[in-house]
């Protein structure tokens, strides 16, 4: 893989930034793609742009505003609350989001002659998103290859990691402090450690505390 080119689906959050560091370690050439779908916080796009610049990675920002037109949700609309109810998909779920993102990433990969596509989706902290499942990603990989007569390989380095293990991976890549201070995961648009209250912040914080406690214990 060392001599090949990869494209990372990149949001500027903890997971995809960790994937960016992972890709830089494993591939000769790395580009990133961010989808602009009318995120509530423009900070998210700015954050992604800044990180790509910091890491000297060519960054593509694609307009996906049609996603919000199709499926307004809590990630794009201020009047929809971020909620997670037992046994229901969270209000942040956008049907088909990863299907669309990965498909467009595939088209872009073919344009820039990248064989590898990297996404930070994860089944472990599975919040009920069906298109974050390993089975879905494998199925789409086959579909992309058939659709473009290509040999893409979709990589999901975080698929079986919990949040603590994702922090561990960032640490192993020498990027723990960077990921902690420069990424945005918070639903309220607060960078780094975030608002501390929203579901994304709580998950991120718990994972970090678990990992730091584990590291201390070693
Ligand atoms: Zn938050």
Which range, of 94-98, 130-134, 156-160, 161-165, averages the lowest pLDDT? Answer: 94-98
Q: What percent of the chain has pLDDT over 90?
A: 71
| C-alpha 16 – ligand 1 centre gap (Å) | 17
Q: How far does residue 139's CA lie from ligand 1's centre (Å)? A: 33
Give the pLDDT band (50/70/90) at residue 210: very high
What superfamily in CATH does domain 2-162 come from?
HUPs (3.40.50.620)
| The pLDDT value given to residue 81 | 66
- Distance from Cα 121 to the centre of ligand 1, integer Å: 19
| Ligand 1 midpoint to CA 24 (Å) | 28
Residue 87: its pLDDT value, please? 64
Instruction: Output Rg (C-alpha) for the chain, integer angstroms.
Output: 17
Centroid of ligand 1 to alpha carbon of 115 (angstroms): 35
* DSSP letters for the chain: -TTSEEEEE--SSHHHHHHHHHHHHH-SEEEEEEEES--S-HHHHHHHHHHHHHTT-EEEEEE-THHHHH---TTT-TTS-----TTS--TT--TTHHHHHHHHHHHHHHHTT--EEE----STT--S-GGGSHHHHHHHHHHHHHHHT---EEE-TTTT--HHHHHHHHHHTT-HHHHHHH----TT---TT--S-SHHHHHHHHHHHHHHHHHHH-
Contact 20, 55 (CB under 8 A): yes
Report domain extents, the chain. Answer: 2-162
**From the CA of 176, how far away is ligand 1's center (Å)?**
19
Residue 169 CA, ligand 1 centroid: distance in Å: 22
Write down the pTM of the prediction.
0.90
pLDDT digits (tens, 9 = 90+) for 74-95: 566 666 666 666 666 666 667 8
Q: What is the pLDDT of residue 95?
A: 81
**What mean pLDDT comes out for the span 96-114?**
95
In this model, does residue 56 exceed pLDDT 80? Answer: yes
Determine the average pLDDT of the residues in 35-40: 82
Q: Given this model, what pLDDT does residue 41 score? A: 72
Per-range mean pLDDT, top range of 39-43, 60-64, 123-127: 60-64
* Known binding positions: 10-20, 186, 195, 198, 201
Q: Indicate the annotated binding residues for Zn(2+).
A: 186, 195, 198, 201
């Amino acid at each position: 893989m060392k001599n090949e080119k990869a494209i990372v689906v990149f949001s500027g959050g903890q997971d995809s930034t960790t994937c960016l560091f992972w890709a830089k370690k494993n591939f000769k050439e790395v580009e990133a793609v961010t989808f602009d779908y009318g995120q509530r916080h423009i900070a998210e796009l700015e954050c992604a742009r800044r990180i790509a610049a910091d890491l000297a990675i060519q960054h593509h920002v694609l307009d996906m505003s049609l996603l919000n037109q199709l499926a307004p949700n809590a990630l794009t609309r201020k009047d929809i609350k971020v909620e997670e109810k037992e046994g229901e998909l969270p209000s942040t779920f956008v049907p088909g989001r990863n299907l669309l993102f990965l498909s467009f990433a595939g088209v872009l990969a073919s344009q820039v002659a990248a064989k590898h596509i990297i996404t930070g989706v994860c089944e472990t902290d599975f919040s009920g998103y069906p298109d974050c499942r390993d089975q879905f990603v494998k199925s789409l990989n086959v579909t992309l290859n058939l659709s473009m007569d290509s040999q893409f390989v979709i990589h999901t380095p975080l698929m079986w990691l919990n949040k603590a293990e994702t922090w561990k991976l960032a640490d192993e890549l020498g990027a723990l402090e960077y990921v902690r201070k420069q990424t945005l995961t918070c639903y309220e648009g607060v960078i780094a450690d975030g608002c501390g209250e929203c579901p994304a912040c709580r998950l991120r914080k718990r994972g970090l505390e678990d990992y730091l406690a584990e590291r201390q214990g070693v």
